[in-house]
Amino acid sequence: MEKHSLDSFFKPKSIAVVGASRDSRKIGHAALKNILISDYKCDLYPINPHEKEILGIPCYPRLTDVPKPIDLVLICVPAKIVPQIMRDCVEKKVKHVIIISSGFSEAGNKELEEEIKEMIKDTKIRVLGPNTMGYKNASDGLDASFVFGVPRKGNLSLISQSGALGVGMIYLANNEFVGVSKVIGVGNKLDIDDDDLIEYFSRDPDTKVIGLYIEAVKDGRRFMNSIKACKKPVLVVKAGRSRAGARATASHTGSMAGSDRIYSAAIKQAGGIRCRDIVELFDIARALAGQPPMRGNRVGIVTNGGGLGILLADACEGNGLTVPKLSRETYEKIDKILPDLVKPNNPVDLVADAGFYRYEACTKILLEDKNIDGVIVASVHAGYARPREFTAAILKMVYEQKLHETHQKPILATWVGGREYEDLVYDLKSAGVPIYPSSWRTARAMWGLHMEGQRLKREGLIE
Ligand code: COA
């Protein structure tokens, strides 16, 4: 039987919360309240056998008492009552269910999960969870979760096997000025799995980049095929690399971490981008959201500090990128800009007193060079440095890049400095400029843009 489309899962016309409660300490209260304060237009039904109304909304004793059809049900009652509620869901022919309750396979209670699987086998119902936070859909303004946190609206969709990390990622994304379309906790993946969501987000017009935190996948082949078929970049953080991590995975969501090397190879082969942790995921997501992909792997580096230039070159080459020697033409152009005491190289050392003009002119020369596919602009807050001029030059170039589409090459920035620098970096971040406080993180973000360029080339979408 064909299952319901996830369209009505993320944009339901009607929602019921089973286990809705007047008690503000309970999850069933928070879930109902989150939907209410979303200001999302839909019919809303609290379900509780003992109450007449909750938060001003009329209550029904059972799902089957609701007179109208229901697109989405949130279950917030203890695990042992869940099968009984699921039977009502089947009888009521609801389209989708989110089982927030824990106490299933992650607690060794596999039979309960199997019972629910069996119940929905020959129905069109889709189930998220159990043991999930639900989801937040910032694009459509719906919060179908019980957790706090309002994501900044944008185009990154996040799938997390850990509810707590899913919430943490919302705050981190806000901090990093990364806009989110949807964030969803998949929990124990009884039915709706990462591959279903990758397929959905691949078609979702509000999603541009997909990010995943996974501990294990149920069907490796389907998972890889969904990444391969995806029309958007897929960033994957796969946890449980170590023996201790794998042990923790088993008790967290009841799953097996599997061989890490196989995961790495398979994600790469499918065209996904494997990130070491969630900070790296956001670093790359920020670059993908604000910058064009890298068409090759050749990086130009501009810096006011020779040491930082070397660190950046090492980090780039350590990630499969190259930092080529300058062409004769570029050398001559840059030679006219630099003070007499230095000769052009790549990294281009602008020397310690570099100001707006030197930064802008040299970066532009590198961007115009056909042997360079992306540029990193770096600044160390040394004695003579002019941080304000460094950030102003980057802002100007990134605005020009967007305004005139002059060159389809990425610009990333790096800084090393203290408090005085932070406000300026904040301004850049809020304007969508990918700037990082470490040479390694910058190189990894550039590598992510290179991987995306490779994917688009394979798809025939860029030359
Ligand atoms: N239909 C509807 N409501 C029912 C019901 C039924 N058949 N049976 C009981 N209820 C009501 C209860 O009366 C209660 O409402 P009340 O406060 O008005 O009395 C409400 O449902 C909740 O039931 P309660 O027994 O109080 O459970 P709880 O709120 O303490 O805990 C869970 C329920 C689901 C939150 C809890 O079992 C749980 O799993 N917590 C962990 C959730 C989690 O962390 N998920 C993963 C996140 S990543």
CA of 27 to the centre of ligand 1 (A): 7
**Residue whose C-alpha is closest to residue 188's, from 141, 142, 133:** 133
For residue 253, name the pLDDT band (cuts at 50, 70, 90): low
CA distances to 242, 246, 334 from 259, in Å: 10, 9, 49
CA of 77 to the centre of ligand 1 (A): 3
Q: Over 90: is that where the pLDDT of 457 sits?
A: yes
SS3 20: coil
What radius of gyration, in Å, describes the C-alpha atoms of the chain?
25
Q: What pLDDT score was predicted for residue 419?
A: 84
**Residue whose C-alpha is closest to residue 71's, from 143, 14, 140:** 14
CA of 398 to the centre of ligand 1 (A): 50
Which of the pair, 209 or 256, is modelled with greater confidence? 209
* Mutation test residue for ligand 1: of 23, 24, 27, 82, the one with most atoms within 8 Å of CB: 27
For residue 241, name the pLDDT band (cuts at 50, 70, 90): confident
- Helix (H) / strand (E) containing 14: strand 14-18
Which of the pair, 161 or 254, is modelled with greater confidence? 161
- The atom of ligand 1 lying closest to the CA of 76 is 34
- Helix (H) / strand (E) containing 157: strand 153-160
Q: Is 163 in the pocket of ligand 1 (CB under 6 A)?
A: yes
Q: What pLDDT score was predicted for residue 404?
A: 64
Q: Is 109 in the pocket of ligand 1 (CB under 6 A)?
A: no
What is residue 206's DSSP assignment? T
CA distances to 43, 153, 244 from 141, in Å: 15, 9, 39
CA of 292 to the centre of ligand 1 (A): 47
CA of 149 to the centre of ligand 1 (A): 21
Of all protein residues, the one whose alpha carbon is nearest to atom 18 of ligand 1 is: 21
Copy the structure tokens of residue 239. 């946890």
- The atom of ligand 1 lying closest to the CA of 26 is 29
CB 184 within 8 A of CB 140: no
To the nearest whole percent, how much of the chain has pLDDT over 70? Answer: 97
Q: Over 70: is that where the pLDDT of 312 sits?
A: yes
CA of 99 to the centre of ligand 1 (A): 11
Q: Is 290 in the pocket of ligand 1 (CB under 6 A)?
A: no
Of all protein residues, the one whose alpha carbon is nearest to atom 37 of ligand 1 is: 78
- Cβ neighbour number for residue 458 with a 10 Å cutoff: 11
CA distances to 93, 109, 195, 392 from 9, in Å: 14, 26, 16, 44
Alpha helices in 176-305 (DSSP H): 194-203, 220-229, 243-253, 260-270, 278-290
- Alpha-carbon distance of 10 to 6, in angstroms, equals 6
CB 34 within 8 A of CB 44: no
**Residue whose C-alpha is closest to residue 17's, from 34, 5, 39:** 34
Residues 411-420 have a mean pLDDT of 91
Q: Is 59 in the pocket of ligand 1 (CB under 6 A)?
A: no
CA of 445 to the centre of ligand 1 (A): 43
Of all protein residues, the one whose alpha carbon is nearest to atom 39 of ligand 1 is: 101
Q: Is 50 in the pocket of ligand 1 (CB under 6 A)?
A: yes
Q: What pLDDT score was predicted for residue 406?
A: 55
Q: Is 23 in the pocket of ligand 1 (CB under 6 A)?
A: yes
Q: Is 129 in the pocket of ligand 1 (CB under 6 A)?
A: no
For residue 163, name the pLDDT band (cuts at 50, 70, 90): confident
Q: What pLDDT score was predicted for residue 84?
A: 98
Q: Is 78 in the pocket of ligand 1 (CB under 6 A)?
A: yes
- Helix (H) / strand (E) containing 156: strand 153-160
Q: Over 60: is that where the pLDDT of 346 sits?
A: yes
CB 96 within 8 A of CB 128: yes
Q: Is 179 in the pocket of ligand 1 (CB under 6 A)?
A: no
Q: Is 102 in the pocket of ligand 1 (CB under 6 A)?
A: yes
Q: Over 90: is that where the pLDDT of 250 sits?
A: no
- The atom of ligand 1 lying closest to the CA of 19 is 21
For residue 434, name the pLDDT band (cuts at 50, 70, 90): very high
CA of 73 to the centre of ligand 1 (A): 14
Which residue's entry shows tokens 């042990």? 247
What is residue 122's DSSP assignment? T
Q: What pLDDT score was predicted for residue 405?
A: 60
Q: Is 28 in the pocket of ligand 1 (CB under 6 A)?
A: yes
- The atom of ligand 1 lying closest to the CA of 75 is 34
- The atom of ligand 1 lying closest to the CA of 102 is 39
Q: What pLDDT score was predicted for residue 401?
A: 79
Q: Is 132 in the pocket of ligand 1 (CB under 6 A)?
A: yes
Of all protein residues, the one whose alpha carbon is nearest to atom 24 of ligand 1 is: 77
CA of 78 to the centre of ligand 1 (A): 5
